[in-house]
Amino acid sequence: MNGWLLAAGGIAAATTVIHVAAGGRSIVRPLLTGPLPAEPKRTLHAVWHLVTADLVFSSVVLLALAFAAAPSTALVLFIAAQYVAYAVVFLIITLAADRPRPLLQLPQWMLLLPVGALALIGTL
- pLDDT by 10s per residue, the chain, length 124: 999 999 999 999 999 999 999 988 888 889 889 999 999 999 999 999 999 999 999 999 999 999 999 999 999 999 999 999 999 999 999 999 888 888 888 889 999 999 999 999 999 9
Q: What is the pTM of this model?
A: 0.91
Residue type at position 51: V
> Smallest Cα–Cα separation from 8: which of 108, 106, 76?
76
Listed in sequence order, the residues at least 6 apart from 38 whose beta carbon sits closer than 8 Å to its beta carbon are none
**pLDDT of amino acid 49:** 95
In the Cβ-directed half-sphere of 76, how many Cα atoms lie within 13 Å?
A: 27
Q: How far is 67 from 47, CA to CA, in rounded Å?
A: 31
**pLDDT of amino acid 113:** 98
